[in-house]
Amino acid sequence: MEVKLASSYGFCFGVKRAIKIAQENTNSATMGPLIHNQKEINRLKNDFNVGLYSSINDVKEDDTVIIRTHGIPKHDLKILKQNNTKVVNATCPFVTTPQQIVKKMSAEQYSIVIFGDEEHPEVKGVKSYGDDIYVVATANELNNIKFKYKKIATVAQTTKQKEKYLDIVNNLILKYKEIRVFNTICDATFENQAAARELSKEVDLMIIIGGKNSSNTKQLFNICDENTQSYHIEDETELEDNWFKDKKICGITAGASTPDWIIQKVIDKIEQNY
């Protein structure tokens, strides 16, 4: 079986930065999963004693708390700083940007539209920085919203598809006179999605590696699945023999929270067994 890797895949800048911060702060714990990859979280726990807080109520005075790459709600961050904890902020700078945009636009009395997943931790954090905020996944959802203000500002979850964001922006422009559009989808997402789309047109099947709860990995799967048979796995143990029957070329890409050591194990197993 011939294996082809996408030209851009895996760890993004924000994730690399967060992993480095975690490794430099041993005997600490993250507020929520640092990234959406359980195996890498397990490695940080085993090798660097970086634990995990499931609730802000678990944090004790003088604890070292690492803020996850996706950020946390503004109120939670305020509580941590007030409780004599050492706060180490590993929030991705690309996530901090929409937080500050929402804060500024809300102060200027703009209603805010966030293109994203309502339950995603990044979106919850961004939403906490403003007033009169609406989270939408599709342009159709805008039809049910009654905005408080006549001015609208938009931001996007950093891992979303730009084409779908454009649908939402175009819908708003047709209906409202003043729209502020901030493209907060990160460059790494653009590059990984474009590379996955290109490769999926050239191969017999695609393997997309990443956490099952990773938004950007799901986006990669959806893109690839439009062009060829695609499978989303977390590691090499999920590979199935029947996927590779009568196939010659396998394409591989990986989400922004997928470490190289997991990707290599998948490659090795495919090359050795199929």
Cα gap 196→258, rounded to integer Å:
15
Assigned CATH class of 13-92: alpha beta
- Known catalytic residues? 122
Q: Tell me, rounded to whole angstroms, the distance of Cα 53 from its chain centroid.
A: 19
Tell me how far apart the alpha carbons of residues 198 and 205 are, in angstroms, rounded to a whole number.
Answer: 13
Pinpoint the residues of the chain covered by CATH 3.40.50.11270. Answer: 13-92
Residue for token digits 């996007």? 156
* Residue 2 confidence (pLDDT): 95
pTM of the model: 0.84
Q: What is the pLDDT of residue 5?
A: 97
According to CATH, where is 3.40.1010.20 located in the chain?
Answer: 2-10+187-273, 94-181
The Cα 92–Cα 90 span in angstroms is 6
Fold of 2-10+187-273: Cobalt-precorrin-4 Transmethylase; domain 1 (3.40.1010)
> The domain 94-181: what is its CATH number?
3.40.1010.20
Encode the chain (274 residues) as per-residue pLDDT tens digits. Answer: 999 999 999 988 899 999 999 999 999 999 999 998 999 999 999 999 999 998 999 998 889 999 999 999 999 999 998 888 999 999 999 999 999 999 999 999 999 999 999 999 999 999 999 999 999 999 999 999 999 999 999 999 998 888 999 999 999 999 999 999 999 998 888 899 999 999 999 999 999 999 998 888 999 999 999 999 999 999 999 999 999 999 999 999 999 999 999 999 999 999 999 9
**Angle of helix 13-24 versus helix 93-107 axis, rounded to 10:** 110
**Sequence-distant (≥ 6) Cβ neighbours of residue 197 within 8 angstroms:** 223, 224, 227
